[in-house]
Amino acid sequence: MAQSGPGAAAPRDEAAEEPEGGGRRWGAQHAGARELAELYSPGKRLQEWISVILCFSLICFNFYNLLLYLRLEHTPSVLVGIFAGVITADFLSGLFHWGADTWGSVELPIVGKAFIRPFREHHIDPTAITRHDFIETNGDNCFMTLVPLANMAYKFVSFSPEALCATCPWECYVFALIIFITMTNQIHKWSHTYFGLPRWVIFLQDWHIILPRKHHRIHHVSPHETYFCITTGWLNYPLEKIRFWRCLENIIQGLTGEKPRADDMKWAQKIK
């Protein structure tokens, strides 16, 4: 979304990718972006609300129980577990982001409109995410963490205290992984937000503790084929150096004959 005023250059640059051959700037007025935005349904909104409520209820329950079973001698393994959880979340964010960006179609039953549609919209209107509220931004990520959160809650109500104390460092790893997966799209939204961010968010971005804004711009250069990790972005450079995503794409294209990002390009080229 274009913004007026002296400070608008950065977000305007980020959303200014053009279809092949020139033409209009991409954004909220792009024909494909308008059509994709209209596919956001009341049923999808209800699913997001339910997911957010259940997710944060389970997070609170599990966090309380984790604190009950933490011991001082767990400290080194818990710190390692938290770090490993962040790294794992960053990799999984890249894997899911790459998969939804590169393969599939909005026309697929169930998952197309529910999960692939936002990725198609985001590439032709990158700042649309900044206009989404908390529920729309985080509903899908909350949905994805419900099963592991419920499994953790089940352990807390059914396992013995001795077993829970022994597995506490592992559960801290799982909990950190869940928290960062849950927050990934919020972090992603912040990486597209250039005005009004809290100072603590800017601090985390500037120190690359979470995904920085300048770092994420690299992904938004068409054809959007690199830097897919959007939790911290720590793994983007090493994965790019070993051509991880390109190798996966070559394998899948060789096996299936499907061309990477074909559906993404189809929506980008819509003119009416």
pLDDT digits (tens, 9 = 90+) for 55-99: 999 999 999 999 999 999 999 999 999 999 999 999 999 999 999
- pLDDT of 115 reads 87
- pLDDT of 123 reads 85
In this predicted structure, the answer to whether residue 31 has a pLDDT above a threshold of 70 is no
Mean pLDDT (the chain) is 88
Q: Structure pTM?
A: 0.85
Q: What is the DSSP letter of 24?
A: S
Alpha-carbon span 158 to 62, nearest angstrom: 13
- Tell me if 94 sits within 8 A of 235, measured CB to CB: yes
pLDDT digits (tens, 9 = 90+) for 221-268: 888 899 999 999 999 999 999 999 999 999 999 999 999 998 888 877
Q: How far is CA 148 from the centre of its chain?
A: 17
Alpha-carbon span 146 to 52, nearest angstrom: 9
DSSP H helical ranges for 39-167? 42-69, 75-102, 111, 117-124, 134-144, 146-158, 161-166
Half-sphere exposure of 175 (CA within 13 A, CB side): 24
Half-sphere exposure of 205 (CA within 13 A, CB side): 22
Beta-carbon contacts of 132 under 8 Å, excluding residues fewer than 6 positions away, are: 189
Nearest to 215, CA basis, from 224, 205, 223: 205
The residue written with tokens 């009004």 in the block is: 196
Q: What is the DSSP letter of 130?
A: G
Give the DSSP per-residue string, 209-235.
SS--HHHHHGGGSTT--S----SS-TT
- pLDDT of 32 reads 64
In this predicted structure, the answer to whether residue 174 has a pLDDT above a threshold of 90 is yes
- pLDDT of 95 reads 98
Nearest to 15, CA basis, from 1, 5, 3: 1
Query: In this structure, what token pair is assigned to residue 156?
Result: 């807390």
Confidence of residue 26 (pLDDT cuts 50, 70, 90): low
